[in-house]
Amino acid sequence: MRRKRFRKFLLCGSILLGSFALFLLLSYWYMVRCQGSWHGEPLEKRMDLAEIRRNIEADVRFIQEMGPRNSVNRKTYEQLLRCEEWIVQRWESQGYRVKKQTFSFEGRDYLNLEVEIRGRSAPSEIIIVSAQYDTLPASPGANNNGSGMAILFELTRLFKNHTLDRTVRFLNFVNEEDPFSGTEGLRVPPSAQRRDAAAGHDRHGPGLQPPVDDRR
């Protein structure tokens, strides 16, 4: 009886050890040896890094020269409207159709601006890439958030002639800064409320060479 139990225990142990060894072998093959079947070309191979840098620097410089863009007074509100027009023109020059979400708050009109690249294989899966274009009350907004806007424009330029698997929506939105943050003056567009992933670009100036700050 004892010998039969021992044989049964030995058989079960051998099966468990064999199964575990097979699991380790399959895991190694899947994670290390499996090469996949993708035959595309990485986007970075087509990038001209010098051109990207020139474009970002030029955009940050132009955005900064607009001055503060907010609703603190009539002048800064007019500069905010000027920035809206420039964003529309910039995206249209890249070949996009710009969607506008218009809303009013405390007697003034505002726009959230959006362009979209529709996905090919999974268009219902949506990625939001965003930046805000208003500034703090006394800031020309070179870093916060001219740097984020400049990167957003470069992304839309680089992705313009590429077919993507998922839908990507690029969004320039308004009234992120005080005094509107956390109020009805900051409104998320309906098109951005349903999303599978999101990336916000804000204050990238310290990472640039030379660094960009909002005092210049």
Task: List the chain pLDDT tens, one digit each, 216 residues.
Answer: 555 565 555 555 555 555 555 555 555 544 544 455 555 566 666 778 889 999 999 999 999 999 999 999 999 999 999 999 999 999 999 999 999 999 888 899 999 999 999 999 998 889 999 999 999 988 998 888 899 999 999 999 999 988 889 999 999 989 888 767 655 555 666 665 565 777 777 766 554 444 444 444
How far apart are alpha carbons 100 and 85 in whole angstroms?
A: 11
Amino acid 185: pLDDT: 55
Topology given in CATH for the domain delimited by 43-207: Aminopeptidase (3.40.630)
CA pair distance 58, 150, nearest whole angstrom: 9
The number of C-alpha atoms within 13 Å of 179 and in the hemisphere containing its C-beta is: 5
Cα–Cα distances (Å) from 86 to 92, 133, 150, in that order, read 10, 11, 12
pLDDT of 216: 42
pLDDT at 203: 63
C-beta separation of 101 from 142 below 8 A: no
* φ/ψ (deg, to 5) at 116: -135, 140
For the chain, give every domain's residue range: 1-35, 43-207
CB neighbourhood size of 15 (10 A): 10
CA distance 70 to 108: 11
